[in-house]
Structure 1
Amino acid sequence: MGQGSFWNERYAHTGYAYGTIPNAYLKEKAAGLAAGTILLPAEGEGRNAVFLATQGWETYAFDQSVEGGNKALLLAAQNDVEISYTVSEVENIRYPEKKFDALALIFAHFPGADRRTYHRKLSSFLKPGGHLIIEGFSKNHANYQQLNPKAGGPRDLTMLYDLEELKEDFNDFEFTEAAEQQVTLSEGEFHQGEASVIRIFAVKK
């Protein structure tokens, strides 16, 4: 099963796989920023994009899943906000360079061989002085997955994050926060329990 088919199947159900409330780290960091334009790659069913739109952000999102896009637009309508949502693979997505005030990669895991290329492409869409917010599973998260399948995350170790690799991917940023942390997730059905994540808050030079 291809990745697109996997996500379409996961998002085809009535409920929201990762819930409808925003990621806690994204919510915390966005609260300290002036609302502007933000891009959310691999945004799935739209929980983060819709929340940010309710906070006054001009929100752009994309994901490879048609079903995810449909759910995101439904959630936006239920919250009386508009979001710009594109169904696209990351390699095909196009935005003007230096368009966005913020870029948020929330559990946006890409194949290891392509990760750096994709991250640098996405960062090109961010304005100098723009903010980068990342939360994703670290390579140590594989230990938590073995203990608790509901912890979530890719099973492909190459798709899990390494802090030093991420710093190199985004080497034209100044890092305010960059750390691996153990957290307890409660995001819908598929992010539940103890997890090892990497959290980054940075500014593009």
Structure 2
Amino acid sequence: MKMTLISTIILSILFFCFGQIVSASEDDKNRWNNRYNTGEYLYGKEPLKFLKEKLDILVRGKALVLAMGEGRNAVFLAGNGFDVDGCDISEKAIEKTRRFARESGVTLNAFVADLEEYKIPVNKYDLITCFYYTQRSLIPQIKDGLKKGGMVMLETYSIDQLKYGKDVPGPKNPAYLLKHNELLDLFRDFRILYYREGEIAENKSVVSLIAQKR
């Protein structure tokens, strides 16, 4: 009787926690679908400046673009000789990416994925990018997903973003902001090709990294 009660309590806790996770994922998906449900491209069609500036040092081949949004960076890579896979939690973002790719005359594989659940294939990619999305649990998967000599390219907000106050873009929860030198520590087993930390525009403090798997 006692063990049955304990088992029931444990199962109830597990179901509650799982329900909370599913609910959070659905909330994220709905929120981004609502944001992307417009004829305009929220972030424009030009690729991220960091990606455009550092294109020449990247290893060509198979690329994975994580949390790609409406596809501006994925389409740019596809147009510059990469075989691109790109994912996002939002179906609307995927629709717009596919449309943008057709209009640009490039091909890529765009698919819906919740990065809290998605597993990056092992030893498949020459390049993995992730811009303005912070999920530290992805780091081991990114490392495993790269081939030897493959590169990771990351850029997102740093903890210094908080100093600008609540009325500027960017996360307000410190859990979604990178600490000083955090990426250098996380990729200490990689060869660091480029690292930048600081203000790149008014009210915008970021961390940028390119690292190569040994």
TM-score w.r.t. length of structure 2: 0.82
Contact kept, 8 Å, 2:120 with 2:142, in 1: the verdict is no
Structure 2 counterpart of 1:180, one-letter code: E
C-alpha displacement of 1:34: 4.4
Determine the C-alpha separation between the residues in 2 that align with 1:38 and 1:27: 15
Aligned length: 189
Determine the C-alpha separation between the residues in 1 that align with 2:91 and 2:210: 30
Equivalence for 1:172: 189
C-alpha displacement of 1:83: 1.1
Equivalence for 1:190: none
| Greater fraction of residues in strand | 1
2:138 is aligned with 1:118: yes
Determine the C-alpha separation between the residues in 2 that align with 1:51 and 1:176: 21
2:205 is aligned with 1:196: yes
Q: Alignment partner of 1:103: what SS?
A: strand
1:89 to 99, 104, 114: 114
After superposition, residues 51-70 of structure 1 pair within 5 angstroms as: 51-70=76-95
Identity, % of aligned pairs? 31
Structure 2 counterpart of 1:158, one-letter code: A
Point out where structure 1 has 5 or more consecutive residues left out of the alignment. 185-192
Deviation track 1:87-113 (CA, whole Å, cap 9, x = no partner) reads 011133234311111111111223xxx
| Greater fraction of residues in helix | 2
Equivalence for 1:10: 35
2:162 is aligned with 1:138: no
Deviation track 1:120-162 (CA, whole Å, cap 9, x = no partner) reads 112211112111111111011122353x52xx22222210112
Deviation track 1:20-76 (CA, whole Å, cap 9, x = no partner) reads 100011112222234211111110110000011111111111111111111111110
C-alpha displacement of 1:118: 1.6
C-alpha displacement of 1:168: 3.1
Determine the C-alpha separation between the residues in 2 that align with 1:42 and 1:102: 14
2:126 is aligned with 1:101: yes
Point out where structure 2 has 5 or more consecutive residues left out of the alignment. 1-23
